[in-house]
Structure 1
């Protein structure tokens, strides 16, 4: 059963990742700068954030 939970957790993390990337990608460069992210860093920043929540 833990394997199924692991798969479900990874799927949920992937969904959070894609949603966060989508939201940040829609922001202007100025908005991104205000929160300290460059457009080219979006995927890396989100990946690090999501991975820190996945055990």
Structure 2
């Protein structure tokens, strides 16, 4: 026997569209905060610390993007 579960809620009408838009903006803000936090932390490391992690300074932005879920 198979079961399917979904946490998605179907919103209809203006209230639903508004709720979906608010959730989308909130998710984007959280993603941006994660990007900024990771970027700041990596930029504050010394070149030696980055080398210990196997990271070159030119890779920091890409790593922060990946950490935040950007493609």
TM-score, scaled relative to structure 1: 0.83
1:17 aligns with 2:40: no
- Structure 1 residue 14: deviation in Å? 0.3
Flag the structure with higher helix content.
1
Compare relative contact order (CA 8 Å, sep 6+) and give the higher one, 1 or 2.
1
Gaps of 5+ in 1: none
Gaps of 5+ in 2: 1-18
Aligned partner of residue 8 in structure 1, secondary structure: helix
Between Structure 1 and Structure 2, how many residues are aligned? 52
- Structure 1 residue 50: deviation in Å? 1.0
Q: Which runs of 4+ in 1 moved over 4 A?
A: none
| Bigger-Rg structure (1/2) | 2
